[in-house]
Structure 1
Amino acid sequence: MEKLDTNTSQDQGLCQLSEKYKQVYLSLTYSIIFILGLPLNGTVLWLSWRQTKRWSCVTIYLVNLMVADLLYVLTLPFLIITYSLDDRWPFGELLCKLVRFLFYANLYGSILLLTYISVHRFLGACHPLRSLPYRTCRHAWLGTGATWALVILQLLPTLAFSHTGYINSQMVCYDTTNPENFDRYFAYGVVLTLSGFVFPTLVILVCYSLMVRSLTKPEENHMRTGNAARAKSIRTILLVCGLFTLCFVPFHVTRSFYLTIRFLLSQDCQLFRAASVAHKIWRPLVSVSSCLNPVLYFLLGGNNRVRLLQKLRQNKVGKHPAGGEEEIPRGEQIWILPRRSLGKMSPNTTSNNLFEHR
Structure 2
Amino acid sequence: MSMLDTNASKEQRFCKFSEDYKQIYLSLTYSIILVLGLPLNVMVLWLSCRQSKRWSCATIYLVNLMVADLLYVLTLPFLIITYSLGDRWPFGELLCKLVRFLFYTNLYGSILLLTCISVHRFLGVCHPLRSLPYRTRWHAFLGTATTWALVVLQLLPTLFFSQTDYIDGQMVCYDMTSPENFDRFFTYGMVLTLSGFVFPSLVILVCYSLMVKRLIKPGETLMRTGNAARTKSIRTILLVCGLFTVCFVPFHITRSLYLTLRFLSSEDCQLLMVASLAYKLWRPLVSMSSCLNPILYFLSVGNNGVRLFQELRHNKVGEHPAGAKGERPRMLTMTATNTKENFFILIKADVYLITQASA
TM-score interval, normalised by the smaller of the two chains = 0.7 to 0.9
Residue aligned with 1:197, SS = helix
Matches within 5 A, 1:40-119: 40-119=40-119
Whether the aligned pair in 1 keeps the contact of 2:247 and 2:289 (CA below 8 Å) is: yes
Distance 1:346 1:129, change over 3 A: closer
**Aligned equivalents of 2:131 and 2:289: distance in 1?**
30
Partner of 1:196: 196
Q: Report the Cα offset of residue 63 of structure 1.
A: 0.3
Residues 225 and 351 of structure 1 are in contact (CA less than 8 Å); yes or no, is this contact kept in structure 2?
no
**CA–CA distance in structure 2, aligned partners of residues 101 and 335 of structure 1:** 43
Give the alignment of 1:1-358 within 5 angstroms.
1-2=3-4, 4-8=6-10, 12=13, 14-222=14-222, 230=230, 233-234=233-234, 237-303=237-303, 307-317=307-317, 346-348=341-343, 350-351=345-346
Three-state SS of the structure 1 residue aligned to 2:133 is: coil
Q: Distance in 2 between matches of 1:273 and 1:75?
A: 28
The answer (yes or no) to whether the contact 2:328–2:349 under 8 Å persists in 1 is no
Q: Secondary structure at the match of 2:129?
A: coil
Partner Cα distance (1:44, 1:34) in 2: 15
Structure 1 residues 231, 71: closer, same or farther in 2, change over 3 A? farther
Distance 1:23 1:317, change over 3 A: closer
- Deviation string 1:40-63 (CA, Å, 9 cap, x unpaired) is 111111111111221111110000
Identify if the C-alpha distance between structure 1 residues 46 and 267 changes in structure 2 by more than 3 Å, giving closer, same or farther. same
Deviation at 1:307, TM superposition (A): 3.4
Amino acid in structure 2 at the alignment position of 1:154: Q
- Does the aligned pair in 1 maintain the 2:33–2:287 contact within 8 Å? yes
2:6 alignment partner AA: L
Structure 1 Cα separation of the partners of residues 62 and 211 of structure 2: 21
- Cα gap change, 1:53 to 1:226, in 2 (>3 Å): farther
Partner AA of 1:158 in structure 2 = T
Contact 2:118–2:207 under 8 Å retained in 1: yes
Question: What secondary structure sits across from 1:4 in the alignment?
Answer: coil
Sort the Cα spacing of 1:132 and 1:316 in 2 relative to 1 into closer, same or farther, 3 A: closer
TM-score by length of 1: 0.87
Decide whether aligned partners of structure 1 residues 74 and 319 sit closer, same or farther in structure 2, where only a CA change above 3 A counts: closer
> Are the equivalent residues in 2 in contact too, given 1:125–1:233 (CA < 8 A)?
no
CA contact (8 A) 2:68 2:106 kept: yes
Deviates more, 1:236-245 or 1:139-148: 236-245
Cα distance change, pair 6–306 in 1 and its aligned pair in 2 (3 A): same
Pairwise CA distance, 1:207: 0.8
How far residue 15 of structure 1 moved from its aligned partner, in angstroms, is 1.1
Structure 1: runs of 5 or more not aligned: 337-341
User: What is the letter of the counterpart of residue 211 of structure 2?
Assistant: M
Pairwise CA RMSD of aligned residues? Answer: 3.0
C-alpha distance in 2, partners of 1:216/1:88?
Answer: 54
Distance 1:147 1:230, change over 3 A: farther
Larger displacement relative to structure 2 (230-239 or 189-198) = 230-239
Once residues 259 and 334 of structure 1 are traced to their aligned partners in structure 2, the CA distance between those partners, rounded to angstroms, is 51
In our comparison, the structure showing a higher alpha carbon Rg is: 1
Give the secondary structure class of the aligned counterpart of 1:200. Answer: helix
Q: Quick one: which amino acid aligns to residue 8 of structure 1?
A: K
CA distance in 2, matches of 1:318, 1:285: 32
CA shift digits 1:327-357 (9 cap, x unpaired)? 9x85778989xxxxx99x9445654587579
Matched residue of 2:172: which SS? strand
- The 8 Å contact of residues 226 and 352 in structure 1, kept in 2 or not, is answered as no
Structure 1 residue 208, shift from structure 2 partner: 1.4
Q: Secondary structure at the match of 1:129?
A: coil
Q: Could you tell me how far 1:238 is from its partner in structure 2? A: 2.5
SS at match of 2:301: coil
How far off is 1:7 after superposition? 2.8
Query: 1:281: Cα distance to partner?
Result: 0.4
Question: Structure 2: which amino acid aligns with 1:92?
Answer: G
Q: Secondary structure at the match of 2:52?
A: coil
Unmatched tracts of structure 2, length 5 or more: 355-359
Question: Does the 8 A contact of 1:165 with 1:171 survive in 2?
Answer: yes
Q: Which amino acid aligns with 2:121?
A: R
CA distance 1:282–1:303, shift in 2 (3 Å): closer
Q: Secondary structure at the match of 1:172?
A: strand
Matched letter for residue 7 of structure 1:
S
Call closer, same or farther: CA 1:59–1:51 in 2, change over 3 Å. same
For 1:96 and 1:259, how far apart are their aligned partners in 2?
20
Q: Which amino acid aligns with 2:276?
A: S
Task: Please tell me whether the aligned partners of residues 53 and 319 of structure 2 are also in contact (alpha carbons under 8 angstroms).
Answer: no
Corresponding residue for residue 339 of structure 1: none
Give the SS at the match of 2:132: coil
Which amino acid is 1:273 matched to?
A: M
3-state DSSP of counterpart to 1:265: coil
Query: 2:174 corresponds to which letter in structure 1?
Result: Y
Listed one character per residue, the Cα deviations across residues 88-121 of structure 1 (whole Å, up to 9, x for unaligned) are 1110111000000000000000000000111111
